[in-house]
């Protein structure tokens, strides 16, 4: 190789001597037509240009070069410590042609363990565009932005979606943006603000796989819970929770996950019901003066039982047979009310009547109304004495056993022939029996028959079949 190079140099020298008038022209190696713009043109299709290889131990000295230190002197450094590669002399230091900098078109052969963009001293690093600082990486390791951004152009966004990202919406405030609209803001006091109320079909907070379920703001100071795009519960600014539907007896609004047909629901305005097993058991109906609590409003033959400490059937209403038992849960079907206590009775209302022909103190008594009179009042045919009375529609009628109003088997006292009598008060005959056989009859016209029916034209008839005599009159 050296022989060839010396031969070529000799040829060049001879050509230069032979053509001294062209000493200032270009030099061509391996070509007779060097490029006009070059002082030296080396051509080869399969060879390279080998620059002198030297070992530079200290980049700040010209060594190992001797004989001068001309600026732009080019060598290839073989020292791995100071950096192998092409270096040129700047006049003060050796500078690598391929330095450890980041190229505008990128680098190759880098390692994240050793290569980085940044500083090696305690100094911040600045990032600029248009010579304006946009970001700064501080020496403490924080990334600092020098612009806030806007909802339409958030500070951080995506190349294909420039109006989606986040920005600084105010001092100590951070906002998240989609479609150029601020959706959420995080305030300095720790609150997270939704910047839109949402709707029932598109609640502000929802789930990715169930976008019509969540919660939203249906109005000022209100909070709505949504499933399937329908508001179910609402919390207003009044210490209440609103149900947004009534429910039914089979699907009451408030129920349990394991028992969905048992719970509470609203049957109508001002009416609430309790259901069990899909049956409406109790209804509370506010209707002014006619407000009521209704059991078994659904007419499903449900019975009502009231327990006490000593009796599980203190009150039982049979929903199937429509009767009531006191002390029993199976009242006799022939009775509307059956009472089973053997050591207590029924106490009828006690009132103080004033006369048989005066309804008071009862107001508008119903025919058949039963009371127990506690007073001695009036006289004659309107007299009332302590005992049971019932209203026949026009007057109080004393029941058997009422003192002074019946004829006792042991006789009566205090009677008056003017007012007390045995007989009828209507146009009906009166009969007397023994051994359940009629013995005497007084017709309504006053005729009397003993042993036989009276004759219509005879005041007294005495005739007992089989007897010899009808009447015997005797003297002492």
Judge residue 223's burial from the number of C-beta atoms within 10 Å of its C-beta, 0-12 exposed, 13-18 middle, 19 or more buried: middle
Q: Over 80: is that where the pLDDT of 367 sits?
A: yes
Residue 12: which pLDDT band, with cuts at 50, 70 and 90?
Answer: low
pLDDT digits (tens, 9 = 90+) for 93-104: 999 887 678 888
SS3 244: coil
The percent of residues above 90 in pLDDT, for the chain, comes to 59
**Rounded to whole angstroms, how far apart are CA atoms 274 and 283?**
6
Q: Which two tokens stand for residue 387?
A: 């005992």
**Rounded to whole angstroms, how far apart are CA atoms 212 and 197?**
14
If you ran DSSP here, which 8-state letter would residue 154 be given? B
Question: Residue 448's closest CA among 435, 468, 431, 473?
Answer: 431
Question: Residue 77's closest CA among 63, 90, 67?
Answer: 63
**Rounded to whole angstroms, how far apart are CA atoms 4 and 389?**
157
**E strand or H helix at 13, and its extent?**
helix 2-18
Question: What local confidence, expressed as pLDDT, does residue 130 receive?
Answer: 95
How far is the CA of 270 from the CAs of 163, 253, 265, 275, in angstroms?
51, 15, 11, 17
How far is the CA of 170 from the CAs of 17, 141, 183, 194, 415, in angstroms?
82, 24, 15, 15, 109
pLDDT digits (tens, 9 = 90+) for 46-70: 999 899 999 999 999 999 999 889 9
91: left (phi over 0), alpha (psi -120 to 50) or beta: left
pLDDT digits (tens, 9 = 90+) for 410-423: 777 778 888 888 88
Question: What local confidence, expressed as pLDDT, does residue 362 receive?
Answer: 97
pLDDT digits (tens, 9 = 90+) for 432-461: 999 999 999 999 999 999 989 999 899 988
Question: What local confidence, expressed as pLDDT, does residue 292 receive?
Answer: 87
In degrees and rounded to multiples of 5, residue 56 shows phi and psi of -95, 105
**Rounded to whole angstroms, how far apart are CA atoms 383 and 376?**
8
For 119-172, list the strands marked E by DSSP: 125-129, 132-137, 143-145, 156-158, 161-170
């Amino acid at each position: 190789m050296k022989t060839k190079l010396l031969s070529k140099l000799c040829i060049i020298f001879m050509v230069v001597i032979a053509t001294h008038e062209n000493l200032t022209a270009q030099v061509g190696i391996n070509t007779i037509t060097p490029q006009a713009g070059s002082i030296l043109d080396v051509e080869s299709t399969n060879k390279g240009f080998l620059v002198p290889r030297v070992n530079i131990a200290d980049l700040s000295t010209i060594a190992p070069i001797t004989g001068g230190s001309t600026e732009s002197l080019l060598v290839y450094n073989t020292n791995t410590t100071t950096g192998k590669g092409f270096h040129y002399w700047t006049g003060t230091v050796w500078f690598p042609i391929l330095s450890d900098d980041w190229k505008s078109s990128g680098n190759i052969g880098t390692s994240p363990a050793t290569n980085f963009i940044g500083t090696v001293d305690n100094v911040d690093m600045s990032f600029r565009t248009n010579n304006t600082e946009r970001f700064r990486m501080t020496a403490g390791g924080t990334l600092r932005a020098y612009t806030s951004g806007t909802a339409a152009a958030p500070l951080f966004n995506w190349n294909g979606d420039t109006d989606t990202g986040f920005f600084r919406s105010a001092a100590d405030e951070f906002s998240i943006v989609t479609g150029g609209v601020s959706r959420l803001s995080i305030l300095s006091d720790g609150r997270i603000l939704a910047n839109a109320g949402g709707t029932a079909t598109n609640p502000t907070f929802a789930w990715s796989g169930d976008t019509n379920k969540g919660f939203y703001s249906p109005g000022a100071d209100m909070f709505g819970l949504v499933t399937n795009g329908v508001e179910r519960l609402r919390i207003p600014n009044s210490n209440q929770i609103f149900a947004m539907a009534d429910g039914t007896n089979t699907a009451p609004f408030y129920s349990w996950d394991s028992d969905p047909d048992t719970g509470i629901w609203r049957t109508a305005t001002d009416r609430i019901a309790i259901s069990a097993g899909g049956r409406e058991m109790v209804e509370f109906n506010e209707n002014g003066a006619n407000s009521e609590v209704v059991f078994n409003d659904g007419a499903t033959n449900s019975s009502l039982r009231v327990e006490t400490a000593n009796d599980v059937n203190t009150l039982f209403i049979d929903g199937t047979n429509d009767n009531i038992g006191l002390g029993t849960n199976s009242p006799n079907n022939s009775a509307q009310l059956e009472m089973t206590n053997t050591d207590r009775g029924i106490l009828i209302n006690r009132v103080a009547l004033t006369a048989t022909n005066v309804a008071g103190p009862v107001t508008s008594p119903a025919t058949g109304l039963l009371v127990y009179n506690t007073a001695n009042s009036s006289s004659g045919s309107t007299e009332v004495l302590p005992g049971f009375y019932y209203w026949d529609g026009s007057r109080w009628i004393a029941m058997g056993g009422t003192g002074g109003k019946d004829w006792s088997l042991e006789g009566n006292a205090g009677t008056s022939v003017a007012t007390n009598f045995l007989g009828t008060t209507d146009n009906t005959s009166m009969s007397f029996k023994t051994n359940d056989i009629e013995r005497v009859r007084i017709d309504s016209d006053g005729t009397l028959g003993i042993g036989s029916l009276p004759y219509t034209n005879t005041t007294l008839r005495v005739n007992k079949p089989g007897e010899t005599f009808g009447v015997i009159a005797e003297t002492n």
